[in-house]
């Protein structure tokens, strides 16, 4: 089915839909990963975006329930050359069937290399794609009417509405006995270190990694305030990835600021940006963002280079950080943007990339163990302070 992709700067591409009639819009971005289209589609950080994959094939290994990074497809559309017959023993359905079931469009038959080069030169931009309106000028006008990503707070849309436990690799609803919504207190049960995980658009594999690191995890809505977190009395706090402009998530940054000296805290991607804002820093929009499973990052503490998985369109302004209080620990080797920092005095750790590596390399998996040790060290200090005579 014929379609037209139009960008806000007037560039148009003829293409076709492999999921039937429809329209889609959002910020158009590209991802350089060679595999992992299902994880990319279901990553909440792609909320409000259309994704073009630079690898020339998509759909060739199908879709299966185990590779979901959230409960649904989050991206607005995906573009690449579609393979309708998957070759994979674990495939439960084709990509087209998966997209249709979630009401999301898929497009092919366009020069994705030319589109990617254009985005690299001109920057990520608003786009509109349609099988119904095939007039290029009309589609460009509709692309120009799409809300810009800079200026959008999407954390509320991507977040869970109710708290839940993450147990044995999956969601576990809160029981009435430990879900005191009237008091906004959600209680931990086990003997493992407890973790309150803010959901700004959290990926399932992050939760798997946190559980594997030894934490008892309760996932809480982005709208949870600092008093509710203090009442939970967790051993640590996690700040998740997510979509949108970090500087518009004012409530989240204010809540994080109120908790900076409460418990050890670990942030990933948007979590890093929100922590930086809470510490007085600033963020800015990257020209075309970092999205892919092959991004080189230098660990300034060890001197090692890590190959990382990334998905972000905003970055922290290094000059805005108080260098006396904050140590920048990781830098992107492509453009020298901030990829990680620690606080010199408080137990705060954050990285811009995705150490859970789904999809992507596993060079940065050590960070979950480092955070677990940070929590253990904090607990030891707390016990020492509570001992009589100490």
CB-count burial class (<10 Å; 0-12, 13-18, 19+) for 190: exposed
Q: Under a CB-based contact definition with an 8 Å cutoff, are residues 64 and 90 in contact?
A: yes
* DSSP codes of every residue in 160-209: -SS-EEEETTEEEEPPTTTEETTTTEE---SSSPEEEEEESS--HHHHHH
pLDDT confidence of residue 390: 46
Q: Under a CB-based contact definition with an 8 Å cutoff, are residues 129 and 3 in contact?
A: yes
Residue 341: partners with Cβ closer than 8 Å, 6 or more residues away: 272, 276, 316, 321, 326, 327, 328, 329, 330, 350
Confirm whether 354 is a catalytic residue.
yes
In this predicted structure, the answer to whether residue 336 has a pLDDT above a threshold of 60 is: yes
Q: How far apart are CA 70 and CA 74, in angstroms?
A: 8
Pairing of strands 194-199, 216-221: parallel
Span 323-330, mean pLDDT?
A: 98
pLDDT confidence of residue 386: 61
Q: How far apart are CA 189 and CA 56, in angstroms?
A: 48
Span 25-42, mean pLDDT?
A: 96
Confirm whether 269 is a catalytic residue.
yes
Single pTM value for the model: 0.94
The helix, strand and coil proportions of the chain, stated in percent and rounded to the nearest 5, come to 25, 30, 40
Other C-beta atoms lying within 10 Å of the C-beta of residue 233: 13
Cis before 4 (ω within 30):
no
C-alpha dist (Å) from residue 224 to 87, 176, 185, 269, 286 = 44, 19, 10, 19, 29
Domains of the chain, with CATH numbers?
A: 2-144 (3.50.30.20), 155-386 (3.40.50.880)
The helices-and-strands tally (H runs, E runs) of the chain is: 10, 20
Tens digit of each residue's pLDDT (9 = 90 or more) over 175-189: 655 554 444 567 788
Q: How far apart are CA 295 and CA 354, in angstroms?
A: 10
The chain-wide mean pLDDT, for the chain, equals 94
In this predicted structure, the answer to whether residue 370 has a pLDDT above a threshold of 60 is: yes
Q: Show the tokens assigned to 240.
A: 């998740």
CB-count burial class (<10 Å; 0-12, 13-18, 19+) for 151: exposed
Q: How far apart are CA 227 and CA 230, in angstroms?
A: 5
pLDDT confidence of residue 179: 52
Q: Show the tokens assigned to 206.
A: 């992050």
Identify the active-site residue in 269, 312, 339, 343.
269
Strand, coil or helix: what is 51? strand
Confidence of residue 383 (pLDDT cuts 50, 70, 90): confident
Strand, coil or helix: what is 373? helix
Strand residue runs (E) in the chain: 2-7, 12-17, 23-31, 49-53, 77-79, 105-108, 125-130, 164-167, 170-173, 179-180, 185-186, 194-199, 216-221, 236-239, 265-268, 283-299, 305-316, 326-332, 338-343, 348-351
Tens digit of each residue's pLDDT (9 = 90 or more) over 210-241: 999 999 999 999 999 999 999 999 999 999 99
């Amino acid at each position: 089915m014929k379609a037209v992709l139009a960008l806000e700067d007037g560039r148009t591409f003829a293409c076709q839909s492999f999921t039937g009639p429809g329209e889609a819009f959002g910020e158009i971005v590209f991802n350089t990963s060679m595999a992992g289209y299902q994880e990319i589609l279901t990553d909440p950080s792609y909320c409000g975006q259309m994704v073009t994959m630079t690898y020339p094939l998509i759909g060739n290994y199908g879709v299966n329930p185990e590779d979901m990074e959230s409960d649904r497809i989050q991206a607005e559309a995906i573009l690449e050359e579609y393979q309708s017959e998957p070759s994979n023993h674990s495939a439960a359905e084709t990509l087209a069937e998966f997209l249709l079931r979630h009401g999301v469009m898929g497009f092919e038959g366009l020069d994705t290399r030319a589109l990617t080069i254009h985005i690299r030169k001109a920057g990520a931009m608003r786009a509109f794609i349609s099988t119904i309106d095939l007039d290029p000028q009309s589609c460009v006008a509709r692309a120009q009417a799409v809300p810009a990503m800079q200026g959008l707070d999407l954390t509320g849309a991507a977040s869970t509405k109710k708290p839940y436990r993450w147990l044995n690799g999956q969601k576990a609803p809160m029981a009435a006995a430990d879900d005191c919504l009237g008091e906004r207190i959600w209680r931990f049960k086990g003997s493992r270190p407890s973790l309150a995980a803010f959901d700004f658009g959290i990926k399932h594999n992050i939760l798997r990694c946190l559980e594997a690191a030894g934490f008892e995890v309760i996932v809480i809505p982005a709208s949870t305030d600092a008093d509710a977190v203090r009442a939970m009395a967790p051993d640590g706090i996690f700040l998740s990835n997510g979509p949108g402009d970090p500087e518009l998530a004012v409530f989240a940054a204010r809540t994080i600021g109120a908790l900076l000296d409460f418990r050890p805290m670990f942030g990933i991607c948007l979590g890093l940006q929100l922590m930086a804002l809470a510490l007085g820093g600033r963020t800015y929009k990257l020209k075309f963002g970092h999205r892919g499973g092959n991004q080189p990052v230098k660990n300034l503490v060890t001197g090692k280079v890590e190959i990382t998985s990334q998905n972000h369109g905003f970055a922290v302004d290094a000059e805005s950080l108080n260098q006396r209080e904050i140590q920048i620990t990781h830098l992107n080797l492509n453009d020298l943007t901030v990829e990680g920092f620690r606080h010199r005095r408080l137990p705060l750790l954050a990285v811009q990339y995705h150490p859970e590596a789904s999809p992507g390399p596993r060079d940065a998996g050590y960070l979950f163990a480092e955070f677990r040790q940070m929590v253990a060290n904090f607990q030891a200090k707390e016990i020492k302070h509570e001992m009589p005579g100490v």
